[in-house]
Amino acid sequence: MDNGLLALFIVGLLGGGHCAGMCGGIVGALSHQSPQGGGAAVRVHLAYNLGRIGSYALAGLLAGLLGQAAGSLMAVQQGLYLFASLMLIALGLYLLGFTQFLTPLERGGQALWQRILPLTRHFLPVRGIAQALPLGLLWGWLPCGLVYGALTTALASGSAGQGALLMLAFGLGTLPNLLLAGLLLARFRRFVQARAVRVVSGLLVLGYGIIGLFNYWRG
């Protein structure tokens, strides 16, 4: 797993508080409406989260394609690399507790989300995988600063495949928090919200961004 994949996995994993805040209502609705207990409930939550992560990977693929199209222009490619490094620094600062960096990004996605939101009603109430999977695919486009920050790295990758892999790594990082939130398990959530864990991880992601800036200025 290269540095970009690891950094985005950490951002997804340690950004669980933000994810729970954005998607907690959806997870709660799934818990209330889906089959109670046993394997059926686990399958519904897995289907929802796999749909959500699938949307992240698709967004990463599209961002990578866009970066690939612009990659023939050296100035554009360097600009994207600089932007992605700055965004990694912002995400590292978010993990350290400076959350205000994400708010402007989330405002930018509201127009798209207002068009997608009505489609979610076709899959409510959730009774099984047939509703949970497409609902997850749609909810994956919910405006989220963490997602948008991760997408800048996919954009700078200049490759559709790499962009999809980067967002897949981010999505897999978010999976434990949201899956455990849906299944009412708290021990792991307490661990990732511990101050020491967030500081170390925030500094690690911040370091990736700083290294990227150093390489940019050196090149």
The pLDDT tens digits for 75-134 are 677 788 787 888 888 878 877 777 666 677 777 788 888 899 899 889 888 888 999 899
What are the φ and ψ backbone dihedral angles of 53, each rounded to 5 degrees?
-65, -35
CB 53 within 8 A of CB 133: no
Residue closest to 16 by CA, chosen among 191, 152, 203, 219: 191
Give me 201's structure tokens. Answer: 């991880």
Distance CA(18)–CA(171), nearest Å, equals 13
Residue closest to 18 by CA, chosen among 118, 138, 113, 101: 101
Q: What is the pTM of this model?
A: 0.79
What pLDDT shows up at residue 176? 81
CB 88 within 8 A of CB 153: yes
What ranges do the domains of the chain cover?
3-218
Give me 134's structure tokens. Answer: 């497409």
- pLDDT under 70: residue ranges of the chain: 1-3, 16-38, 71-75, 99-102, 180-194, 197-198, 201, 208, 216, 219
CB atoms inside a 10 Å sphere around CB 184: 9
What pLDDT shows up at residue 193? 61
